[in-house]
């Protein structure tokens, strides 16, 4: 499929992209994927999975150790300047210039992207209104709320109407309302300008609800990809989790005999049963356990979700405890801003 | 490229204009030096006029000698923050965002150099004007004893501009290659003071030991200050072994070398990371 998309002018095409830092730290270990024009493509993974490194390579900010990437048909390594002209980037950290007003930030972005002089004013005014920061257009960006800054950064990323928009953890640190608002603008703009959107996120619900297709990346490797529906279908239906009071190795074979259960797995002292209609099977599962003389601590039913998909394909839950998270980094930048802001 | 450079230069100047504390602080230092150090260190009171001129290489008074030196001094101190701004822009992701656009590295670097040189150039001329003005207030003032024609004025302006660009390049180079503000200020202080103390900006030339005179005669601050003194003081032309253009040429060499280093480091910082 990757080759087909590249041949038909795929918006993004990565082949065996590898990034190794300091000769030994393999952040990305050979990812291959293609994104169709006009798609919203999600790169889903925990912190440290290799999402930002991949975005940096695709946006010509980081040289790949090996492999090839094209964006809008251009070789990222050889046609850096032209690639930059055709893409927009919204970074995970806040990059709006706090010492400039919202309007000045957009005018600067327009000049750097080469927006025709005659169009700058109308584009900037339009975007400011569109992003609902028109009233604050002439205020310094450092007085903006987190949501306003994010919308300003989105506006700066699309002021030149890019063909491909890269969003790296764009809603990090925003409250649910702010996240919903941000996505509303992204989807509207994508619809109007036929933009391709490549987004990295570790919010599963965001990937599930907003992306046409998703690649799940873990430890620098894509472990699964497809539409959210396809990925969930691969789970084989609902998941019923059975936690016995004391572990009983023989319970697995008992549960496999329950009609409707398609498979039984175990993880951390819990039996995970896949079945087409979990709700109606719960009474039979409980009866089977009681019949086998096994006391139950809990029984829970989960509909297919990307949490389950991630667990299924990686063998572990979403990790939030390894190394500094993106949120940690954002907080750290905030502390540096506070510490040094007054001295500038 | 011109449009990008202007847009980025405008950004730097807007940020400077919105930071009156920084402007006030940069003004305070030269004013205090002129009012306190320059007024207090009065060689004319203890030495005969001819001896003063001999020790000061043709300058009529120590204050005149000192005021010309201060123009070089402020060109160094006013460029200190230019590299710090690069580090802050790196920390806050602003440099990464700018580097993600098609703007050329030359524009990004050039804009910082232009904006970073404007303030020291302005301050240097302010110091000259203030030093002349103090003489009309009954205090020691800068006495211009040479006939300053267009060529002299041009040479003075050129010396100040080249010196400012040179130090702006040096501090930009440091800013592009260092990640932490603390480290930057430590490095800059380690450079700043020795550069000033091994120059002929403030010391009376005749009082300096021979070894220090040797070092000072290669110092870029000295070269710029000598160009200014030769053009301001009638007795200076004969006191210096070379004409002003010779020192301008040396100063230009320093600036070109610093600019080259800064350019290489900027290209490394703004290009794709490896």
Residue in the block written with tokens 């239906």: A237
Six-digit token pair at B55?
């020790």
Query: In chain A, which residues touch B (CB < 8 A)?
Result: 56, 59-63, 80-82, 84-85, 89, 91, 93-95, 97-100, 104, 107-109, 111-114, 117, 140, 156, 333, 336-337, 340, 344
Using pLDDT thresholds of 50, 70 and 90, give the confidence band for residue B158.
very high
SS3 B96: helix
pLDDT tens per residue across span A13-60: 999 999 988 878 888 898 999 999 989 999 988 878 888 899 999 998
**Is the ipTM value over 0.90, yes or no?**
no
Chain B contact probe: residue of A59, A93, A95, A198 with most B CBs at under 10 A: A95
CA A308 to chain centre: 16
pLDDT tens per residue across span A78-89: 898 899 999 999
SS3 A224: strand
Residue B272 has pLDDT above 70, yes or no: no
Query: pLDDT at position A107, please?
Result: 95
- The pairing of beta strand A196-201 with beta strand A164-168: parallel
Percent of chain A's residues with pLDDT above 70: 89
Crossing angle of helices B181-197 and B80-91, rounded to 10°: 170
The pTM of the full predicted model, rounded to 2 decimals, is 0.76
Q: Do B273 and A63 touch (CB under 8 A)?
A: yes
pLDDT tens per residue across span B213-231: 999 999 999 999 999 999 8
B115 or A1, which is more confident?
A: B115
Residue B40 has pLDDT above 80, yes or no: no
Q: How many CB pairs under 8 A join A and B?
A: 88
pLDDT tens per residue across span A111-138: 999 999 999 999 999 889 888 888 888 9
Six-digit token pair at A344?
């500038």
Query: pLDDT at position B253, please?
Result: 94
Residue A173 has pLDDT above 80, yes or no: no
Q: Nearest Cα to B7, choosing from A124, A99, A155, A111?
A: A111
- The pairing of beta strand A238-244 with beta strand A87-90: unpaired
Q: Are B192 and B80 in contact (CB under 8 A)?
A: yes
Query: pLDDT at position A196, please?
Result: 92
Q: Are A298 and A62 in contact (CB under 8 A)?
A: no
Mean pLDDT of B139-152: 83
Alpha-carbon span B79 to B67, nearest angstrom: 19
Strand ranges, E, within A85-146: 87-90
Query: pLDDT at position A328, please?
Result: 43
Domain coordinates in residue numbering, chain B: 2-270
User: What does the buried/exposed string (b/e) look like for B54-88 if buried means 16 or more CB atoms within 10 Å of the residue's CB?
Assistant: bbbbbbbbbbbbbbbbbbbbbbbbbbbbbbbbbbb
- The pairing of beta strand A196-201 with beta strand A40-44: parallel
Q: Nearest Cα to A240, choosing from A214, A200, A280, A274?
A: A274
Q: Nearest Cα to B228, choosing from B27, B57, B52, B40?
A: B57
Residue A325 has pLDDT above 60, yes or no: no
Residue B46 has pLDDT above 80, yes or no: no
- Beta partners for A31? A17
Alpha-carbon span A316 to A310, nearest angstrom: 7
Mean pLDDT of B240-269: 87
Query: pLDDT at position A186, please?
Result: 83
Using pLDDT thresholds of 50, 70 and 90, give the confidence band for residue A5.
very low
- The pairing of beta strand A66-71 with beta strand A12-21: antiparallel
Q: Do A60 and B272 touch (CB under 8 A)?
A: yes
Sign (positive/negative) of CA torsion A7, A10, A12, A14? Answer: negative
Residues of A with CB below 8 A from B273's CB?
56, 61-63
Alpha-carbon span B206 to B185, nearest angstrom: 33
Alpha-carbon span A220 to A27, nearest angstrom: 5
Alpha-carbon span B38 to B40, nearest angstrom: 6
Query: pLDDT at position A327, please?
Result: 40
Query: pLDDT at position A54, please?
Result: 92
Q: Are A268 and A315 in contact (CB under 8 A)?
A: no
Number of Cβ within 10 Å of residue A213's Cβ equals: 19
DSSP state of A321: S
Alpha-carbon span B89 to B95, nearest angstrom: 5
Query: pLDDT at position A48, please?
Result: 80
Using pLDDT thresholds of 50, 70 and 90, give the confidence band for residue B30.
confident
Residues of B with CB below 8 A from A140's CB?
18
Six-digit token pair at A339?
């510490």
- The pairing of beta strand A87-90 with beta strand A164-168: parallel
Query: pLDDT at position A274, please?
Result: 85
Nearest-by-Cβ selection for B97 from A91, A100, A104: A91
Six-digit token pair at A169?
């953890």
Q: Do A62 and B92 touch (CB under 8 A)?
A: no
Q: Can you list the domains of chain A with their CATH numbers?
A: 2-231 (3.40.50.300), 236-303 (3.30.70.100)
pLDDT tens per residue across span B57-75: 878 888 888 888 988 888 8
């Amino acid at each position: 499929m990757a080759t087909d998309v590249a041949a038909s002018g795929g918006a993004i095409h990565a082949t065996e992209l590898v990034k190794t830092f300091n000769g030994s730290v393999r952040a990305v270990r050979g990812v291959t994927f293609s994104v169709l024009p006009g798609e919203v493509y999600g790169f889903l993974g925990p912190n440290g999975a290799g999402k930002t490194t991949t975005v940096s390579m695709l946006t010509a900010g980081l040289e790949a150790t090996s492999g090839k990437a094209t964006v809008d048909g251009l070789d990222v390594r050889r046609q850096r300047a032209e690639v930059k002209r055709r893409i927009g980037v919204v970074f995970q950290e806040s990059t709006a210039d706090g010492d400039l007003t919202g309007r000045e930030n957009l005018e600067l972005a327009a000049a750097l992207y080469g927006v025709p002089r005659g169009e700058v004013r109308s584009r900037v005014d339009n975007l400011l209104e569109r992003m609902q920061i028109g009233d604050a257009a002439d205020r310094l960006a450092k007085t903006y709320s987190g949501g306003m800054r994010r919308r300003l950064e989105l506006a700066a990323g699309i002021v030149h109407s890019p063909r491909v928009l890269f969003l790296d953890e764009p809603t990090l640190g925003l409250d649910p309302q702010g996240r919903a608002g941000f996505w509303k603008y992204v989807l509207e703009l994508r619809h109007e300008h036929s933009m391709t959107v490549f987004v990295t996120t570790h919010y599963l619900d965001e990937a599930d609800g907003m992306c046409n297709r998703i690649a799940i990346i873990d430890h620098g490797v894509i472990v699964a990809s497809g539409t959210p529906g396809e990925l969930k279908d691969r789970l084989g239906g609902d998941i019923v989790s059975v936690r016995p009071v004391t572990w009983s190795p023989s319970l697995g074979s008992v549960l496999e005999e329950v009609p409707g259960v398609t498979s039984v797995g175990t993880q951390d002292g819990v039996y995970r049963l896949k079945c087409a209609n979990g709700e109606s099977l719960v009474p039979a599962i409980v009866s089977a356990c009681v019949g086998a003389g096994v006391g139950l601590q809990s029984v829970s039913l989960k509909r297919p979700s990307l949490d389950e998909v991630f667990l299924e394909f990686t063998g572990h839950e979403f990790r939030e405890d390894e190394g500094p998270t993106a949120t940690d980094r954002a907080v750290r930048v905030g502390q540096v801003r506070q510490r040094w802001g007054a001295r500038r | 490229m011109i449009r990008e450079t202007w847009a980025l230069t405008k950004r730097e100047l807007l940020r400077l204009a919105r930071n009156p504390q920084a402007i006030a602080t940069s003004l305070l230092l030269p004013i205090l030096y002129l009012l306190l150090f320059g007024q207090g260190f009065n060689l004319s009171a203890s030495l005969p006029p001819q001896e003063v001129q001999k020790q000061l290489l043709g300058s009529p008074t120590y204050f005149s000698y000192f005021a010309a030196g201060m123009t070089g001094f402020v060109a160094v101190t006013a460029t200190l923050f230019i590299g710090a701004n690069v580090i802050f822009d790196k920390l806050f992701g602003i440099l990464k965002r700018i580097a993600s656009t098609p703007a050329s590295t030359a524009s990004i670097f050039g804009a910082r150099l232009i904006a970073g040189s404007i303030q020291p150039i302005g301050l240097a001329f302010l110091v000259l004007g203030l030093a002349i003005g103090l003489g009309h207030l009954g205090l020691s003032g800068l006495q211009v004893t040479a006939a300053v024609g267009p060529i002299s004025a041009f040479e003075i302006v050129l010396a100040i501009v080249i010196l400012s660009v040179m130090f702006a390049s040096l501090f930009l180079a440091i800013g592009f290659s260092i990640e932490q503000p603390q480290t930057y200020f430590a490095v800059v202080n380690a450079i700043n003071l020795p550069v000033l103390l091994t120059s002929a900006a403030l010391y009376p030339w005749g009082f300096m030991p021979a070894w220090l005179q040797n070092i000072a005669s290669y110092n870029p601050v000295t070269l710029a200050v000598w160009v200014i003194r030769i053009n301001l003081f009638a007795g200076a032309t004969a006191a210096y072994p070379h004409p002003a253009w010779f020192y301008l040429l040396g100063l230009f060499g320093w600036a070109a070398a610093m600019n080259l280093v800064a350019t290489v480091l900027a290209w490394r910082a703004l290009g794709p990371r490896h």
